[in-house]
Amino acid sequence: MKIKATLDRIPGGMMVVPLLLAATLNTFAPDLLRIGNFTQALFVDGASTLIALFLLCTGAQINFRNVGVSLGKGATLLTVKWLVGAGIGLLAYIFAGPNGLWLGLAPIAIIAAMTNSNGGLYVALVGQYGDKTDRAAYSLLALNDGPFFTMVALSIFGAMGFVEGMFSFVSFVSVLLPIIVGMVLGNLDDEMREFLNKGSSMLIPFFAFALGMGIDFGAILEGGLAGVVLGVLTVFLTGTAGYIVFKAMKWNPIVGAAEGSTAGNAVATPAAIAAASAGFAANVEIATVQVAASVVTTAILLPLYIAFLVKRLEKKGVKLPDDYVIDESNTRVSS
């Protein structure tokens, strides 16, 4: 059976399929895997531990050795992505109803989905339409994997009085420490980075399944359509913002738009946030489903949006990537 090949053909399949499979199982046979010992520890109760190990492996891939133009591009993408996601999330908190939702969306899902980006999709897109500095920017973009930037936004909103459940310093560090340990190991030893990189991919379906065992099928029905809307907003708001900023800086605007996605890793962010502060636990279930739906939606929609933008530029006589080549001094050398 070609299980992995089949999952790979499904956008976000390694995360979405186990999540929905477990959610279905939890809905119709919730006690089937709750039999104690190793089975329950891995498939039901293991989400927090597996996510922590995943964050460590992800942290090891963050490489601070690449500087120059790539650093500038990566920092710009991170900033634009965070500002848009945090801004929409703040509006959601301000106008949220009594159930804590805004237009059916959990604010924590909005921030998690919009501030995290699909690195694999970015690399694939800039591999076709970008240059080497665009591809090298990915080393810095790894910073938006996981809950860090979501936690920063929520901490700021808490200080502003819009969010209850501010993080204590210890809780904040407890979530970030696995990432920091991974960063240290990966930057001290390239072989350790390569070794831990294998865990980044391998752990996804396992923690996704464990997360799914905490989700009821009713929540999928409730949050699925809203999650699709969240994915559409992520593509058109964060992608378009990146496009505009990169164009203004005379960089290849397609690269800016390539950040308009939601990372599969982001599905773990609501659970990680709730682990750091119980004040965010109420909407974790629906937020997880909405983020998962956004992952799939952006994986399908973003390449189509990029193709539209490329054709739009070609009609104006711009040929990519030849007409947006940046040399090492950060100077546009052709147009």
DSSP 144: G
Report the DSSP beta bridge partners of residue 105. Answer: 102
Q: Confirm whether 37 is domain-assigned.
A: no
Tokens linked to 51: 């996510």
- What is the number of structural domains in the chain? 1
Report the DSSP beta bridge partners of residue 97. Answer: none
Q: Confirm whether 325 is domain-assigned.
A: no
The CB density around residue 191, as the number of other CB atoms within 10 Å, is: 8
Q: Confirm whether 54 is domain-assigned.
A: yes
User: What are the backbone angles phi and psi of residue 331, rounded to the nearest 5°?
Assistant: -110, 135
Q: What's the distance, CA 229 to chain centroid?
A: 16
Q: What angle do CA 228, 232, 236 make, to 5 degrees?
A: 170
The 3-state secondary structure of 37-71, one letter per residue: HHHHHHHCCCHHHHHHHHHHHHHCCCCCCCCCHHH
For the entire predicted model, the pTM comes to 0.69
Is residue 85 a contact partner of residue 238, using CB atoms and an 8 Å limit?
yes
Is residue 108 a contact partner of residue 281, using CB atoms and an 8 Å limit?
no
**Structural domain boundaries, residue 267:** 46-315
DSSP string covering 180-195: HHHHHHHHH-HHHHHH
Position 235: which residue type? V
Q: Confirm whether 298 is domain-assigned.
A: yes
- CATH code of 249's domain: 1.20.1530.20
Give the chain's residues under pLDDT 50: 67, 326-335
Q: Confirm whether 116 is domain-assigned.
A: yes
* Angstrom distance (rounded) from CA 140 to CA 119: 11
pLDDT for the residue numbered 161: 61
Q: Confirm whether 4 is domain-assigned.
A: no
Q: How far apart are the first and last CA of the chain?
A: 50
* Angstrom distance (rounded) from CA 215 to CA 106: 15
pLDDT for the residue numbered 99: 83
pLDDT for the residue numbered 58: 75
3-class DSSP state of 333? coil
Q: Confirm whether 108 is domain-assigned.
A: yes
